Amino acid sequence: MEMVPITTILRNATKSVDFYDFSGKPEDWLGMMISKAEDESFGQLLQIIPEKGFTDPITILKDESGWTLGDGHHRLTAAIMLGLDEIPVVFDYKYYGSNWSYLDYDQDGPTRTMVINALEQTRQEILDSYIYS
């Protein structure tokens, strides 16, 4: 397990085991977040994570075509909404070569900026819906 910046996940995850048509575009991230935030138990995650931290890491699968978000969609969504910088991740290496390393990316790149801006615009709206509903 290792702590991974959320921005690295947003930049590199282009597939999801839960969402067939997920491609890592900003609108895909927003759709995933809204879907997960609508689950009944999501509000509990928003309370538990600040109090107790993460009890389980998320799982990311990596192969030649990129990163796939495996287990942990709710936890990742909660971490984003809570404004956390990083999240515990277990990379599933069983299908991957041993020479894997983080993909380098431009921290001020347009894709990252679009995703972060889109998430920032919706995060408060979704949080407000929990607080005031």
CATH number of the structural domain spanning residue 27: 3.90.1530.30
Q: Which of 54, 65, 64, 55 is nearest to 6 (CA)?
A: 54
Q: Kindly report the pTM of this predicted structure.
A: 0.68
Q: Which helix (H) or strand (E) holds 77?
A: helix 73-81
Mean pLDDT of the chain: 76
Which residue range(s) make up the domain with 42? 2-131
Q: Which helix (H) or strand (E) holds 2?
A: strand 2-5
Q: Which of 32, 95, 36, 39 is nearest to 67 (CA)?
A: 95
> What does the pLDDT average to over 57-82?
88
Return the pLDDT at 85: 93
Q: What one-character DSSP code corresponds to residue 64?
A: T
Please state the domain count of the chain. 1
Which of 128 and 53 is assigned the larger pLDDT? 53
